[in-house]
Amino acid sequence: MGGPSDPPEGTPEGAPGGGEDEYRSVVFDESFVRAARLQEYSAEQRITDHAPAVRRRPPRSRGGLSRQALVLVLLIAVAFGTAVYMGLRHPYRNPAADDPAEPLRMTVVPLAPQGEVPGTADVERLYAHSPAAQFRPGAEGVPLPASRRTAHFSDGQVVTALLTAKDYLVRSALDPGVLTGGETRPVRALLDSGQLDQFDQSFDRPTADGRHAPTGWLVRFDPARVRLADREIRVQGTMQATETDSSTLEVTTDHTFVYALRPAGTGPDAEASLFTVRRELHFRFDRDDLRLHQAELVVAQVQAGPLSCAEDSAARLRPLLAGQTAKEAAPAGTDPYATGSAPALCGTLAPGAQPKL
């Protein structure tokens, strides 16, 4: 006979543990039970005719986002907005970078020859018999100096400052479109945005006040008088980069540019003469300038000749050409009572600066 827990018929054949052994591997844990969508009717509902013992719970509405999804979307939006804000506001921007750029202070000194300007149709002979005989042509005459990092600026940042200064020299003194074509955009593009108003005013309303002379920004000739006899302009000079404070690099350049010129409208057989421009420029760079490949030009000292002291050299340079002499005239008068004006200056071009023909 079977035990009290065995069925009357005894344990079925072929099953060692009976029918219960089939379900011993199935475990209904608490999470499974809670997840089951079953709901039991009340006693009153169950006694109703043909009422089922249980009914299915209606599925949850999925018409909107859950609270967790809304929180996730909100966090993503906040993170994205923060990233955009930090991208627009450079994290390394120094408060000093928000200060307005210092205006350019410039001095343009015309140099008058003591006699007749020498000239010849042979441009190579002109250069060979002048102090510019060993000068290099074009941008080759503006090599970068050896550079190294400073206390607060890396090697790459120092090189960037030197390259930007070189680009400014090349565009402002070697580009034929700037020299005789009236172009200004190539030079303007390299300036700090804080100096653009001063630059534009210099060309819209040029004046010799030490602030708004176009020839302080760049070299430009009067195309009605002269043309380039040789595009291979001779150059020689120096560049140096120094750190002035933890947020500023300064580059100082000192170059002499020598141009071969002929009268406008003449052919290759016309006599050419040399014109010399000495430019000492001081550039200033903050970290934003380095990032944008721009510079503040804060000082420009220019000496140029042969020129006549009686000519206005603020807007354009009007060189004296082969065979010409300077007029016997003093420079324009200087009014010591006028505020914001610069003294009118003029020098004498040394005979040794001219070719020996």
Q: Which two tokens stand for residue 88?
A: 């627009």
From residue 28, give the alpha-carbon distance in Å to each of 23, 35, 80, 317, 334: 11, 11, 45, 98, 105
Confidence of residue 23 (pLDDT cuts 50, 70, 90): low
Residue 332 included in any domain: no
205-208 contact pairs (CB < 8 A, 24+): 206/314, 206/315, 207/314, 208/108, 208/312, 208/313, 208/314, 208/332, 208/342, 208/344
Q: Output the pLDDT for position 90.
A: 47
User: Do the beta carbons of residue 142 and residue 173 sit within 8 Å?
Assistant: no
Do both 89 and 192 map to the same domain? no
Domain endpoint, select from 39, 74, 99:
99
Do both 318 and 171 map to the same domain? yes
Do both 93 and 204 map to the same domain? no
Residue 304 included in any domain: yes
Alpha helices in the chain (DSSP H): 30-35, 43-46, 67-88, 123-128, 155-173, 176-179, 185-188, 196-204, 214-217, 287-292
Residue 151 included in any domain: yes
156-201 pLDDT, tens digit each: 999 999 999 999 999 999 999 999 999 999 999 999 999 999 999 9
Domain endpoint, select from 75, 99, 123:
99
- Residue identified by tokens 């302080």 is 216
Do both 75 and 106 map to the same domain? no
Cα torsion through 331, 332, 335, 336, rounded to 10: -20
Q: Which two tokens stand for residue 235?
A: 């150059």
43-77 pLDDT, tens digit each: 666 666 555 555 555 555 555 557 777 778 788 88
Do both 265 and 349 map to the same domain? yes
Mean pLDDT confidence for 319-346: 78
Do both 114 and 73 map to the same domain? no
Domain endpoint, select from 99, 117, 144:
99
User: Do the beta carbons of residue 282 and residue 326 sit within 8 Å?
Assistant: no
pTM above 0.85, yes or no: no
Do both 183 and 209 map to the same domain? yes
Do both 129 and 254 map to the same domain? yes
One DSSP character per residue, 104-121 reads PEEEEEEEEESSPPP-BS
Residue 234 included in any domain: yes
Residue 115 included in any domain: yes
Do both 178 and 263 map to the same domain? yes
Do both 182 and 147 map to the same domain? yes
Residue 59 included in any domain: no
* Beta pairing partners, 296: 284
CA distance 120 to 133: 15
Q: Is the pLDDT of residue 34 over 70?
A: no
Residue 201 included in any domain: yes
Residue 51 included in any domain: no
Report the number of distinct structural domains present in the chain. 2
Q: Distance between alpha carbon 10 and the CA centroid of its chain, in Å?
A: 96
Residue-range definition of the domain harbouring residue 76: 65-99
Q: Compare 22 and 34 and report the one with higher pLDDT.
A: 34
Confidence of residue 277 (pLDDT cuts 50, 70, 90): very high
- Residue identified by tokens 């602030």 is 211
Q: Which two tokens stand for residue 329?
A: 């005239």
Do both 82 and 122 map to the same domain? no
Q: Compare 5 and 355 and report the one with higher pLDDT.
A: 355
Q: Output the pLDDT for position 45.
A: 61
The values of phi and psi at residue 273, to 5°, are -140, 165
Q: Is the pLDDT of residue 42 over 90?
A: no
Do both 174 and 89 map to the same domain? no
